[in-house]
Amino acid sequence: MKQPKTLYEKIWDAHVVDQRDDGTALIYIDRHLVHEVTSPQAFEGLRNAGRKVRRPDLTLAVPDHNLPTTPRLDAKGNNIPIADPQSAAQLEALEANAPAFGIKYIGASDINQGIVHVIGPEQGFTLPGTTLVCGDSHTAAHGALGALAFGIGTSEVEHVLATQTLQLTRSKAMEIRVDGLLGPGISPKDLILHIIGVIGTAGGTGHVIEYRGEVFEQMSIEGRLTVSNMSIEAGARAGLIAPDDKTFAYLEGRPMAPKGADWDAAVAYWKTLPTDDGAVFDKSVTINAADVAPTVTWGTSPEDVVPVSGTVPSPESFADPSKQDAARKSLDYMGLEAGQALHDVAVENIFIGSCTNSRIEDLRAAASILKGRKKADNVKWAIVVPGSGLVKAQAEAEGLDRIFTDAGFEWREPGCSACLGMNPDKVPAGERCASTSNRNFVGRQGPGARTHLMSPAMAAAAAVTGRLTDVRELTR
Amino acid sequence: MKPVTRVEGRAIPFGQKNVDTDVIIPAKWLKTISREGLGEGAFEAIRAEEGNIFDDPEYAGANILIAGDNFGCGSSREHAAWALADLGITAVIAPSFSDIFSGNAFKNGLLAIAVPQAAIDRLMEVARTDPITIDMESMSVTTPFQDRFTFEMDPFRHQCLVEGLDEIDLTMAKSDAIERHEKNSDSAKPWLTPVAA
């Protein structure tokens, strides 16, 4: 009998080009997504060394991080220039580098443009059983479709462009098993925030996490993308969820997905990928789904989570002295007091978007809360940023844009937006933001900005009440 | 890449845990198309504070940074490694590093040296007054006071650093194996080539 293998081991083994005696291996990369921020120095490196892109056909370039989310075309259909000269130069570099190296480029005003991690699955570029990389840590998202997907630095981007491979050390396999199902009103975002709270931001370091259990089988692909996306927030370079009929149904007919006989052959192969019975994980964590409540972050690390019905923890409640110190600094930065009820915390800004939560189901969830309601007066700035032009068009076809604008939200063009404070969408210093993004680091949404991470429905609920709110109060 | 066999000098006893990449270099500095000049934005929020350790004259010219657990967590931005290098840092010593950061550091010849917390505690103390030495041959961190802490490193990375090898050149020397892999997968998994949309 063959040795039982995990999904991770199967994908790894199928991509070893050359195994070194010291345990590292040259791994073939099937898919490479490129964006404007982490690629210019890589293209420059290729140019300086006189190298070509080995497989432009396996590479896809799209701008997302820097791009303003305000309208891109004027009334005559001409591009509106980008005000920030540095951003403009970086975007122009990608626009020039992609065709110069023969890479397909989806431009800013193309309806297919969007956040790299939204368009990969959406275009059928991301496939189960493939290795996929991008110079962005949230590449972990694509593991939702059963792809071994991880973020890389710019030197690695250059290495993949030149050789279509990476020299890697095999990670350990970690299982996060979730028992039971999520309660009503509890979303995949609540689940992944809860998981990060349990294992910590270094809990998955050196590991690839496979998420297992019925909750993931029942979860939509978009929900799975939200979960796998934040694997990096738990320290794991990649997350994985076994491909199943939902995965195949999601991918079938997507523009870049296999067609006809190729599709059938692909599905037959993908069905062999799930972890075998008896396969051994290096580390295993069990989570009880019944423990997951609508969750928000209180501090400046994604592990600083608490049910929204709870209170801000006291620094002394942590066993580790350095965590106590970090908690004190976080509370100071966040302007919170130990023991304060989270639902008393007022928010001035709402951000619905990012590669974690900007897909159509996210927008539907937020709109279902906002329908017929308005944002509270103390909410000064509320924006919805669809993850791609296709998501935006779908939302508009469903009338969701009207629900958002009627509620007092701005309806924006696709991009990374206020997730990372590098384009014009920023949260002012000292103000709070109920945000569906993935990182609540100091200064992440702008210098001095105070981020509370949560699900789209919870961000919508916060917009309505003007404070952190258990969304279930609005749905009863 | 220049070979790195030994790093010697004063170290900044920073010591913080979970230092994320947004702390090392905030996103607004990522708009550059160059690898140079990022030191200006390095630890920007911390350096805005009066009396911060990075601007302490005691550590002027220090080339080693001592930090806590999980250094470099967060984003994949190689700008974090470039910013440290631009600050003049040639080695970071911490109990652990995020996977992506340690890879990025390696690619830039910046040493990411993992030693246990007890060793960190001692090095933090020494760093206040005296220099520290990292020797790649013996894979050890030493102080002028007979302290000696050994560390481990992925053998491939160790070899590349010590010999100053260019990784892309090394991989390109294996182009036969890469071609073989491509031929095999073209015949076994023809669906792997994306449909040109």
Nearest CB neighbour to B33, from listed A93, A153, A323: A93
pLDDT at position B197, please? 54
pLDDT per position as a tens digit, A171-182: 999 999 999 999
Specify whether A285 is located in the same domain as A307. Answer: no
Q: What is the mean pLDDT of chain A?
A: 97
If asked whether residues A343 and A431 sit together in one domain, one would say yes
Tell if the CB–CB gap between B192 and A154 is shorter than 8 Å.
no
- Residue A2 is predicted with a pLDDT of 81
Tens-digit pLDDT profile for residues A44-78: 999 999 999 999 999 999 999 999 999 999 999 99
Domain count, chain A: 3
Amino acid A355: pLDDT: 98
B102 touches chain A (CB under 8 A): no
Structure tokens that stand for A279 in this block? 């396969």
Q: Which amino acid is at A102?
A: G
> Is the residue at A269 inside a domain?
no
- Rounded to an integer, the average pLDDT of B35-41 is 95
Asked if residue A286 and residue A300 are part of one domain, the reply reads: no
Output the pLDDT for position B195: 80
What residues form DSSP beta bridges with A352?
A384
Q: What is the CATH number of the domain that holds A208?
A: 3.40.1060.10
Cα(A51)–Cα(A311) distance, integer angstroms: 56
Q: What residues of chain A, 132 to 161, have a C-beta less than 8 Å from chain B?
A: 135-137, 139, 151-156, 158-159
- For chain A, positions 404-423, list CB contacts with chain B under 8 A: 420-422
Kindly tell me the sign of the dihedral angle through the C-alpha atoms of A189, A190, A195, A201: positive
Chain A residue with CA closest to B190: the answer is A262
Range of the domain at A347: 295-475
Phi and psi (nearest 5°) for A33? -100, 135
In this complex, which of B16, B73, B171 lies closest to A235 when CB atoms are compared? B73
pLDDT at A322 over 90: no
- Percent of chain A predicted with pLDDT > 90: 98
Residue A270 lies in a domain: no
Q: For the domain with range B6-166, which CATH number is right: 3.60.20.10, 3.40.50.12780, 3.40.50.1820, 3.20.19.10?
A: 3.20.19.10
Claim to verify: residue A96 and residue A56 sit in the same structural domain = yes
Q: What is the pLDDT of residues B114-127, one digit of tens each?
A: 999 999 999 999 99
- The reply to whether residue A326 touches residue B17, judged by beta carbons under 8 angstroms, is yes
The reported pLDDT for the residue numbered A23 is 82
- Integer Cα distance of A306 and A296 in angstroms: 6
Interchain CB contact of A256 with B (< 8 Å): yes
- For residue A193, give the H/E element and its range: helix A188-199
Interface test with A, best of B31, B117, B165 (most A CBs within 10 A): B31
Distance CA A110, CA A457 (A): 29
Residue A105 has pLDDT above 70, yes or no: yes
Give the angle subtended at the CA of A307 by the CAs of A305 and A313, to the nearest 5°: 60
DSSP symbol at A82? P
The answer to whether the Cβ–Cβ distance between A37 and B98 falls below 8 Å is no
SS3 A457: helix
Chain B stretch 63-82, residues whose beta carbon is closer than 8 A to a beta carbon of chain A: 68-70, 73-78, 81
Q: If contacts are CB pairs under 8 Å, which of residues 146-175 in chain B contact chain A?
A: 154-156, 167-168, 170-172, 174-175
| Same-domain pairing of A117 and A186 | no
pLDDT score of A85: 95
Tens digits of residue pLDDT in A256-292: 999 999 999 999 999 999 999 999 999 999 999 999 9
Please indicate, yes or no, if residue A79 is contained in any of the structural domains.
yes
Say which amino acid occupies A354. Answer: S
Are A283 and A353 members of one domain? no
Whether chain A has a CB inside 8 Å of the CB on B46: the answer is no
- Token pair recorded at residue B22: 């947004």
**Residue A1 resides in a domain:** no
Q: Which of B76, B156, B190 sits opposite A152 (nearest CB)?
A: B76
* A86 and A126 inside one domain: yes
For residue range A236-262, what is the model confidence (pLDDT) as tens digits? 999 999 999 999 999 999 999 999 999
Asked if A153 and B189 come within 8 Å (Cβ–Cβ), the reply is no
Rounded mean pLDDT of A324-337?
A: 96
- A140 SS3 class: helix
Angle between helices A360-370 and A221-229 in degrees, nearest 10:
100
Question: Within A255-341, where are the H helices?
Answer: 260-270, 321-334
Residue A165 β-bridge partners: A28
CB contact under 8 A, A137 and B100: yes
**Rounded distance, CA A244 to CA A252, Å?**
12
Candidates B18, B44, B168; nearest CB to A163: B168
B103/A153 CB distance under 8 A = yes
Query: Could you tell me if A311 and A287 lie in one domain?
Result: no
Which band of pLDDT confidence, cut at 50, 70 and 90, is reported for residue A401?
Answer: very high
A147 in a domain, yes or no? Answer: yes
Q: Report the percentage of chain A scoring pLDDT > 70.
A: 100
| Closest-CA residue of chain A to B82 | A154
The tokens for A335 are 């302007």
Residues of A in contact with B44 (CB under 8 A): 443
Residue A268 within any structural domain of the chain: no
At A41, list the tokens: 């120095």
Measured from the Cβ of residue A160, the count of other Cβ atoms closer than 10 Å reads: 28
Domain CATH number, residue A455:
3.30.499.10
Q: Same domain, yes or no, for A157 and A178?
A: no
A188-199 and A456-465 are packed helices; what angle lies between their axes, rounded to 10 degrees? 100
The two tokens of residue B153 are 């490193």
The nearest alpha carbon in chain B to A303 belongs to B18
Residue positions of A in the annotated binding site for [4Fe-4S] cluster? 355, 416, 419
Q: Is the dihedral of CA B122, B125, B129, B133 positive or negative?
A: positive
- Whether A24 sits inside 8 A of B154 (CB atoms) is yes
In this structure, are A63 and A184 located in the same domain? no
CA–CA gap between residue B15 and residue A472 (Å, rounded): 42
Q: What count of Cα atoms within 13 Å lies in the side-chain half-sphere of residue A59?
A: 28
Question: B22 and A444 in contact by Cβ < 8 A?
Answer: yes
Tokens of B123: 């090095």
CA nearest to B172 within chain A: A163
What's the rounded mean pLDDT across residues A371-378?
98
CA A39 – CA A29 distance, rounded (Å)? 17
Do B194 and A271 touch, CB atoms closer than 8 A? no
Asked if A247 is an interface residue toward chain B (Cβ–Cβ < 8 A), one would say no
Query: How far, in Å, CA of A236 to CA of A202, rounded?
Result: 8
Rounded to 5 degrees, φ, ψ at A294 are: -55, 125
Distance in Å, alpha carbon of B81 to nearest chain A alpha carbon = 10
Helices (H), A50-174: 85-100, 116-122, 154-163
- The CA R_g of chain B, rounded to the nearest whole Å, is 19
Question: Which tokens hold the place of B183?
Answer: 């031929």
- Examine the domain organization and report whether A227 and A161 are in the same domain: no
- Does residue A20 belong to any structural domain of this protein? yes
ipTM: 0.93
- Pair A96, A183 in one domain: no
